[in-house]
Amino acid sequence: MKKKRHHLWKNIMIMAAVFLVASGSSIILQKTGVYEHITAIFIFAVFLTSILTDGYIYGIVSALVGTLAVNYAYTYPFYALNFRFQGNMVSAVVMMAIAVLTGMLTTQVKTHEAIKAESEKERMRANLLRAVSHDIRTPLTTIYGASTTLLESGDNYTKEQRIKILKGIQEDSDWLVRMVENLLSITRIDEGRIKIIKTPTVLDELIDSVMVKFHKRYPQQEVHLDLPEDIIVIPMDAILIEQVIFNLLENAVLHADGMTELILKVFVLGQQVVFEVSDDGCGIEKERLSGIFNGSYHLFEDKASSADSQKHNSGIGLSVCQTIIKAHDGVIAAENNAKGGAVFRFSLNREETSESE
């Protein structure tokens, strides 16, 4: 409701501004004694108003006012309305026609664009849902199967076997938890607000929080940290950025076969802070690299390797990362290290430091 009113005012302001500029230049022209182009100026004004405002109504209003103004002030007889003079009628009709036609055209283009954006969004959502349902089914199968087995014939198994089955249940539900967290992150962005709420966050606190969560999940995996000495403040939705770093670290653990070292490096580059997660594992296949952030990676993997379905997919995690970084006006990229292994890198804008505290 408020937004609508805001739009109304914006449109009226645009209309008024264009009209004032047109009148102003007409007066100047009139003073210098050039009359013949005044109608053209108002026609142009009507055209501009129709393009810049929403719908037809503002264009038509400005055409009406323009016709009257031209007729009254700028054409013979001056400062009197006269519709008997043929030229005046013609310019009035032309202005009305331009207003209506431009209005129709721009409205059409605008709706078309909106529909296109909407369908693109729908398509992405459908892709995501498809990928998610597929990914969720695998661990659910394990959990369901394992718990049924234990309930129905648990006595037939040795204690070690039972623990193994239970561990499987635990691992897969753990994975589901993180998947749900990723999906929740997306809804945080999609929750109707285009802009996420950024709060200035101190880098050390962010890294500390991520590392606590990561150590809890992967106690065996060491991460080599390389952080700047200075205190760095970055405006961000900390929970989301935390999710991105966690996803990137976890991806390395799950997918970088043969990894011996996992590095999280953060450095400042001008106004930007660059986060870099690198490993010395198997790297990423070239064909996967291009579409790695937008789910096409997922479709590819479906065909290529049904054998390692045991190892869950990272497609969702990475497209979540991309969505989050994009919402922060940042950039995310993946590449292979020259020495072998993969590098994931994203950058965020740091807080502008006008005052030095």
Partner 1 sequence: MNNKYKILLVEDEQNISTLVMTMLETAGYQVIPAGTCAMAKTLFISYCPDLVILDLGLPDMDGMTFLKEVRKNSLTPIIVLSARTNERDKVLALDSGANDYVTKPFGAAELLARIRSALRNCSHSADSGKLPGGRFSVQDLEILYDARQVFIKGREIKLTQTEYNIVALLSEHCGKMMTYSAIIKGVWGYPDEGSVKKLQVNMANIRKKFGVKPGEATYITNELGVGYRMNSD
Q: Minimum distance between the CB of residue 241 and partner 1, rounded to whole angstroms?
A: 9
Q: Which of 99, 266 has the CB closer to partner 1?
A: 266
Report which DSSP code applies to 234: E
Which one, 11 or 201, has the nearer CB to partner 1?
201
Nearer to partner 1, 12 or 177 (CB): 177
Residue closer to partner 1, measured from CB, 70 or 206:
206
From CA 106, how far away is CA 115, in angstroms rounded?
Answer: 14
As measured in angstroms, the least distance from the Cβ of 186 to partner 1 is: 14
Q: What share of the chain is helix, strand, coil (3-state, %, to 5)?
A: 65, 10, 25
25 Cβ contact partners less than 8 Å away, ≥ 6 residues apart: 41
Query: CB-based contacts of 145: which residues, under 8 Å, 6+ apart?
Result: none
Closest approach of partner 1 to the CB of residue 253, in Å: 15
- Contacts (Cβ under 8 Å, ≥6 apart) of 207: 225, 227, 245, 264, 266
Pick the closest to residue 45 from 72, 64, 68, 66 (CA basis): 66
Provide, rounded to whole angstroms, the least separation between the CB of residue 343 and partner 1: 21
Residue 61 or 250 having the CB closest to partner 1: 250
The CB-of-159 to partner 1 minimum distance in angstroms stands at 18
SS (H, E, C) 22-85: HHHHHHHHHHHCCCCCHHHHHHHHHHHHHHHCCCCHHHHHHHHHHHHHHHHHHCCCCCCCCCCC
CB of residue 209 to partner 1, shortest distance in Å: 4
- Closest CB 204 distance from partner 1, rounded Å: 4
| DSSP-derived 3-state class of residue 226 | strand
Which residue bears the tokens 């991520």? 210
Tell me the C-alpha distance between 134 and 108, whole Å.
Answer: 39
At 191, phi and psi to the nearest 5? -60, 35
* C-beta of 70 vs 244, nearer to partner 1: 244
Residue closer to partner 1 by CB (options 119, 353) is 353
Q: Which residues bind partner 1 (CB under 8 A)?
A: 173, 177, 181, 184, 199-212, 214-215, 223, 225, 227, 231, 233, 238-239, 242, 357
